Structure formats: C-alpha cells, structure tokens
Structure 1
Amino acid sequence: MNVHDRAYELAKAIKESSEYNDMLAIRAQISQDASSKNALEDFRQRQNELQQKMAAGAMPPPEEMEKLQKLYDELALNPGIKRLFDAERRLSIVLEDVQRIIAEPLQAMLK
C-alpha cells in the first residue's frame, strides 16, 4: 500500500463529500450577490489579518477581537452567509476528524 496514493484517495473523497460540495454551492450563490460577497470578503480579510498577528506571536487588542465577533454576528444574520458559515463548520469537523485519525499512529508511537 502506497501512503501517497491513499492520501490522494482521501483528497478525492473529501472533494466528493456532501460537506465540501455544499460549501462550494453556497459560496457560488453568495458570489452572485455583490453585497453579500463584499461583506464576506471584508470579514475574511479582517479575520486573516488577526490570524496573521496571532501567528506572529502578537495578541490583537480585545477591541479588534470584539469588532470581528460583532461583524461575524452581523454577517450571520444574512441567511446565505449563515448557511456558508454552517457549511464551513461541518467541513471543518470532517477535516478535524481526519486529522485526528491520521495522527493516531504517531500518538501510539510516542507512548
């Protein structure tokens, strides 16, 4: 068994999953609405900036975190964007499960 071949099979299975395809379909719907698309892009940009600060070891001020949370809450009032957030969350859970399963052999090795 070739591990790389299995990894490609896993990638294909993820791309064929309902979680992945639901997320893509909802994204496509949102991209048709300029207002929703722009609001989501703005949110993603701010979210990415905060994540980069945190990755660099700098903790953003609480005010920035609160602003981002408020923006998220406002966006979640939009039914399409809320569906996207929910779809992203479902896909994230699948990917976390996969990561946990993949890490099991390594954890066993460290015991």
Structure 2
Amino acid sequence: MTVNVYDQANALESALRQSEEFQNMKEFYGKVNENPESKALFDEFREIQMNLQQKQMQGEEIQEEEVQKAQKSAEDIEKDENIKSLMEAEQKMSQLIQDLNRVIMKPIEELYGLENQN
C-alpha cells in the first residue's frame, strides 16, 4: 500500500485550520485589525522586527537606537490587550507546530538512532 504523503499533509493543513489554536489566532488577529490603535502598534512592531531580521541575515550591524526602538515597541504592544491575546495565541500555535514537527521527524530520528547502534 502506497501512502500519498501530500494527501496526508493537506489533511493536516485542514485540521490545523480547524484547530482551537488557529481559531483563537484568527479571532484575536481580527480584534487587532478592528482596533485602529492596536493595528498601528502591531504593524509598527512587525515592521521593526522584519527590518532587524533582514539586517541580521545580511550581516549588517544593528545600531543601539534600533534596539531601543524595538524594545519600546515591544513594551507598547505588551500594554495592548488585543495584541497581547494574539501573541499568546501565536505562542500556543507555535507549540502545536513544534509538537507536530517532533511527530513528523520521529521516523528519521529513529532511523538514525538505530543505525548509530549497529
């Protein structure tokens, strides 16, 4: 019996969309976007994060003022209940994905684990 891994992956994608973790993220993301102050803070935070990541990947030096701006933005979003709820939901979704990754990687880890014992 041949298993189509891509069919299984598509089924997993569908299950993720229906999961409580994803539904919570979707709900809180909607609340952030419905509130102009939350949306502005969230967009600014994401832009700062992306810029810093891009600089880091390109090996550019990150200036102290950029670090301070990122810290200030992080402090601001922690005060916003809509964004705080979204971040907590993102954390739970991230944990779910990490758990799934461990399950997916298990056959490979077992394979190499068995080979190393021989």
Q: Does 1:43 align with 2:52?
A: no
Q: Which residue of 2 aligns with 1:106?
A: 108
Candidates 82, 104, 108, aligned match of 2:84: 82
Structure of greater Rg: 2
Q: Give the TM-score of the pair, scaled to structure 2.
A: 0.82
Cα 1:102/1:60, change in 2 over 3 Å: farther
Letter aligned with residue 55 of structure 1: M
Cα 1:63/1:106, change in 2 over 3 Å: farther
Matched residues in 1 for 2:105 and 2:57: separation? 22
Q: Which residue of 2 aligns with 1:28?
A: 30
Letter aligned with residue 47 of structure 1: Q
Q: CA deviation at 1:104?
A: 1.7
Which consecutive unaligned segments of at least 5 residues does structure 2 have? 114-118
Q: Which residue of 1 aligns with 2:21?
A: 19
State how many pairs are aligned.
Answer: 111
Q: Which residue of 1 aligns with 2:8?
A: 6
Q: CA deviation at 1:58?
A: 4.1
Q: Give the TM-score of the pair, scaled to structure 1.
A: 0.87
Q: Which residue of 2 aligns with 1:68?
A: 70
- 3-state SS, counterpart of residue 100 of structure 2: helix
Give the aligned CA root-mean-square deviation in angstroms. 1.7
**1:21-78 residue CA offsets vs partner (Å, 9 max, x unmatched):** 1111111111111121011001101111112222334463455334323311221111
Q: Percent identity at matched positions?
A: 31
Q: Which residue of 2 aligns with 1:53?
A: 55
